[in-house]
Amino acid sequence: MDNLFKATKRESAVDIVVNSIKQLLADKKLLPGDKLPNELEISEGLGVSRGSVREAMKILSAFGLIDIRVGNGTYVSDSPSSELLDSLLFTYFITNPDLTSLYEFRRIFETDIVRLAIDHYDENQEQRNSLRENLKELDALIQEGAAPDKILKNDMDFHHILGEASCNALASRIYYFVMDSFRASISHTHKHQNGEYVYKAHSQIYHIIESKAYDDIEECIKQTIDIWYDLLQD
């Protein structure tokens, strides 16, 4: 493990740790079951604080890539079945595909998620009710001039519920991961508007599902993601 952890470019301290470990996993220099160096060794090797190392470990643990064993150290996850998909997707996303590729992927995948939600209309009453309540909450947040972080949480919750409405565990898990991966870019778009764009877009998606308007799905999703993509350019 000597000299594995070296900062190579200017990043935030937490990003330095996260990106270093992600790259080691992608390069297979860290393998499932490997024990990571301790907190002090990583912080000294990368020139960051121990607090930054701890925060990075929380992020990696949330993705299921590492297993923090209290009193026994931190290990690369053995990728049990519930975490394997996330690990594979995470490895793909660290290759940093260009923004256009991400735009195209999200548009295609989100279109299919909405289509599945309509296909399983008779099975997802609970999720559709939750989508409706989510929209009511968003409307209230807009009226009170809520902070962007509250709008962001509501936004992410909507997409997580939408994934569940597909009634397809695999599709839902991938969609959940993809949207979490877009969290930073989605957060950026909220700096340019107070939630009204989100409300309009999500309302359209909800009404398409409720009316089973298959023919309107592609155009609705394209318009929604076009706005997201354009705001990212600002």
| Full set of structural domains in the chain with CATH | 13-81 (1.10.10.10), 97-232 (1.20.120.530)
Q: What is the pLDDT of residue 83?
A: 47
- Kindly calculate the radius of gyration of the chain based on its CA atoms and give it in whole angstroms: 20
**pLDDT < 70: residue spans in the chain:** 1-11, 62-64, 79-99, 184, 192, 232-234
Exposed, middle or buried, 96 (CB in 10 Å: 0-12/13-18/19+)? exposed
Provide the pLDDT for residue 77. 80
Distance CA 99, CA 216 (A): 25
- Residue 6's nearest CA partner among 40, 45, 42 is 45
The owner of tokens 């289509």 is 115
* Confidence at residue 11, expressed as pLDDT on a 0 to 100 scale: 64
Report the alpha-carbon distance of residue 162 to residue 202 in Å, rounded.
Answer: 10
* pLDDT for residue 183: 74
The confidence score (pLDDT) of residue 82 equals 42
Residues 6+ apart with CB under 8 A from 69: 75
